[in-house]
Structure 1
Amino acid sequence: MIILLQLQLLRVKEPSHTSKGYLCFMITLGVWIGCGVIFTIEYRFIDFSDFLPSWLLRAKINQNSQGSIVYKILIILLVLMISVNARPLTKISDISYGKDKLQKLDVYYKNSVQNAPIIIMVHGGAWSMGDKYRFKTVANKVSRWVPKGFIVVSVNYRLLPKADPQIQADDVVSAMVYVQKHAKIWGGNAKKVILMGHSSGGHLVSLIATTANRYKRLKPWLGTISLDSAALNIVNLMQKRHNSFYDDAFGKNEKYWEKVSPSHHLHAKIKPMLLVCSIERANNPCQAAENFSKKAKALGVRTEITPQHLNHFKINKELGKENAYTLQVEAFIRSLGVELK
C-alpha cells in the first residue's frame, strides 16, 4: 500500500521534481525490498549464501545483536543502491544553447532509449512570459511520451521586450540545432524531431515551419504541431479588433506583420503540420486554422486540424492524458512514421 501511494504521489509531481520523485519512490521500494530479503533469509525461505557477498555473509554469521543489526542495515543499503541506480527517467536541466540566461532547455528521457524520436516543446505566454518547467507545459507530455520511448525537450527563449517574435523564433531554431547536434548523447535520433508549441509558442513553431529555408544550420524535422495559436495570419489579425498584447508583440509596422506571419510564407516544401484549436475561444482560432490549412493544402502542404472542446489553457494541459485528444495527436505522430511503444 505504501509503495502504491508513493507511485500515486509520483504521478502528480511537477516535472522539475520528477527525478526527486523517482528517487523517493526508489528509496521506499529499496527499503521494503531490503526488509523482505531480510525476512526471507531470517526464516530460511531461500538460501542466499551462494550469491551474497562474502563480507555480507560474515556480518550475518556474527550471532550477537550488534552484528545482526549491521547485517540488516547492509542488506537494505545494498538493495537501495541497486534501486536508485535503476531510475527509469533522467532529467537534465538548464542546458545552455546560447549565451543569454533564458537560452536554456531541459531534456527528459529514459536511460535505456536508443534511436528515440524527440518532441521539442515551446511554451506560450503572449511572447512576454512563460517558462519551460511549468506543469501544464510538460507534466503530462513527459509522463505520457517518455515511457513510450520518446525524448521530450522543453525550451526557454528570450522574451518581450528584450526580444521580438522573430528573435524568439531564431532562439527556438538555435535550440533545435543544439538538440539535433546532441541527440545521440541522450539516445535520440536527430532525424526524428517533432516540433510542438502552445499559444504564442504555437505561432513560433508555425513561423519556423514556414520559414525553415532561412536557417541553413537547421536540418529537416518530421512535422510541426501548433497548439491553439490564433496568430497564423498576423496581417489579418492586426487589422481586426484584437487584444492589446498583440500590439506589444507585433507593433504597427505592416511589413513586420508580413515578416512574422506564418500564412505569408507558405510554400510547397513545408513538412506536415497539425493545428489544434479551441472551439471555446472568443477570437476563433479554429477559423484561423481553417484559413491557414486551406491555403497550405492549395500548395500541396499536408495539414490537419483538430478542434477541441477545451479552453485555451486546457489545450496545453490535457495533452498527454489518456483521452481522445491525446490519441488524435498521437495518430498524427504515427503518420509521420514514428512508432509509439
Structure 2
Amino acid sequence: MRPPRLRHSLFALALAIALPALASAAALTDQRYGPDAAQIADVYLPDAPRARPAPILVIVHGGSWKNGDKAAAEVVDNKLAHWLPQGYAIVSVNTRLMPQARPDAQAEDLGRAIAWITQQAPSWQADPANMIVMGHSSGGHLLTLLAADDAMRQRTGAPLWRASVILDGAGFDLLDVMPRPHAPFYDEAFGADPARWAVASPAAQLRGVQPPALFVCSTLRPDPCRRAQRYADLLTAQGGQAELVGVARNHAQINADVGADNDETRAISAFIKAQLAR
C-alpha cells in the first residue's frame, strides 16, 4: 500500500493531467482538526480570483462506520471536477472509525471538524455562513445525527450549516432499524442495547431548528427511500425543509456519480444553489 503522502501526490498529479481546469487549485492535505491522527481533512481551494468569499462544500465519506477515506476517488473526484471550477472551497473529512470510535463519537469528530472549518474559513477566503455538508451512507448518518443533536453541536462548537445533502444515508431511526432484519455491521456499530441505539439515532435526538435537507436515495431497493422519506417527514413535521430524490443507481454509484453529467448532479446542484440564494 502506498504511503498516504505519496497517494495524495499521485492524486494531485492525476487531477492536473485529467482535469486541466483544476490544475491551479490549491490542495491542503491532511490538515489536523483534532488531536487524534485520524482527525484530519483535505482542503481544496480554487485559485481563481473571487469577488466574494467562496461557499464551502464539506464531504463526509461512507464505509459502514469502519472503512473509507477522504481522498478515495469515489468520494472526491467528480465532486472536485464539478464544484471547484464554480468557485467552491471543498473540504473532505476523515473521522475516527470503529473499533476506535463508535458512530456517536464519529459524529462528534465531525462536529469538531465543522467547528475547525468555520474558524479556518476566512484564511481560505471562504464563507462559513455558506457551508453545505454532504455525506454518503454512514457519512449521511453522521451529519444527520450531528444536525439533530443540539447538545453534541454545543459540545463540539459546531454551528448549524446552510443545508445538508444525504446520499443514500443510513441509520436515521435506529429504534426502527435494529429490531428488523439488517446488515450484520449494524450490530457491530450499535450493539444490542436500545439505549445505545437511541444515543446514536438522529430520530431519537432530533431537537430544534435543522438545516434544509436533500435526501438522494436508491430506487433499486425498497428500504433506502422508505427510510429517507420517514426521516424527511419528521423534519417537515417540526417545521423544517426536506426534499427527496430517488435515482436508479446502486449504493456506490449514488456517491461516485455526484458531479458527473447526470440528473442526480443536476438535482443536487439546483438544491444547493437554491439554499445559497436564500
TM (normalized to structure 2)? 0.90
CA distance in 2, matches of 1:169, 1:255: 17
Residue in 1 aligned with 2:27? 91
Residue 19 and residue 323 in structure 1: after superposition, are their counterparts in 2 closer, same or farther (change >3 A)?
same
Counting matched residue pairs gives 267
1:336 alignment partner, SS class: helix
State the shift of 1:290 in Å: 1.2
Residue 232 and residue 322 in structure 1: after superposition, are their counterparts in 2 closer, same or farther (change >3 A)?
same
The answer to whether the 8 Å contact 2:58/2:132 transfers is yes
CA distance in 2, matches of 1:25, 1:248: 39
2:234 to 291, 295, 312: 295
User: In proportion to residue count, which structure has more helix?
Assistant: 1
**Structure 1: segments with no counterpart, 5+ residues:** 1-13, 30-85
Residue in 2 aligned with 1:319? 258
Specify the code of the residue in structure 2 equivalent to 1:93.
T
The answer to whether the 8 Å contact 2:56/2:88 transfers is yes
In the TM superposition, what are the counterparts of 1:163-242 in structure 2 within 5 Å?
163-216=101-154, 217-242=157-182
**What is the aligned-residue RMSD (CA, Å)?**
2.2
CA displacement, residues 204-250 of structure 1 (integer Å, 9 cap, x when unaligned): 01111111443222223101111101311111100101111000000
Residue 295 and residue 21 in structure 1: after superposition, are their counterparts in 2 closer, same or farther (change >3 A)?
closer
Residue 89 and residue 18 in structure 1: after superposition, are their counterparts in 2 closer, same or farther (change >3 A)?
farther
Residue in 2 aligned with 1:251? 191
Residue in 1 aligned with 2:60? 122
CA distance in 2, matches of 1:99, 1:157: 11
Specify the code of the residue in structure 2 equivalent to 1:103.
Q
In the TM superposition, what are the counterparts of 1:123-138 in structure 2 within 5 Å?
123-138=61-76
1:300 alignment partner, SS class: coil
State the shift of 1:15 in Å: 7.5
Specify the code of the residue in structure 1 equivalent to 2:217.
C
Mapped pair 1:103 → 2:39: yes
Residue 230 and residue 281 in structure 1: after superposition, are their counterparts in 2 closer, same or farther (change >3 A)?
farther
2:178 alignment partner, SS class: helix
After superposing on structure 2, the runs of 4+ consecutive aligned residues of structure 1 that deviate more than 3 Å are 14-19, 21-26
| Higher RCO (C-alpha 8 Å, min separation 6) | 2
State the shift of 1:202 in Å: 0.7
State the shift of 1:193 in Å: 0.7
Specify the code of the residue in structure 2 equivalent to 1:237.
V
State the shift of 1:266 in Å: 2.5
1:154 alignment partner, SS class: strand
Residue in 2 aligned with 1:76? none
State the shift of 1:87 in Å: 4.9
Specify the code of the residue in structure 1 equivalent to 2:244.
I
Mapped pair 1:309 → 2:253: no
1:220 alignment partner, SS class: coil
State the shift of 1:22 in Å: 6.0
TM (normalized to structure 1)? 0.74
Mapped pair 1:161 → 2:128: no
Residue in 2 aligned with 1:286? 225
Residue 297 and residue 25 in structure 1: after superposition, are their counterparts in 2 closer, same or farther (change >3 A)?
closer
**Structure 2: segments with no counterpart, 5+ residues:** 1-6
The answer to whether the 8 Å contact 1:117/1:338 transfers is no
Which is greater in Rg? 1
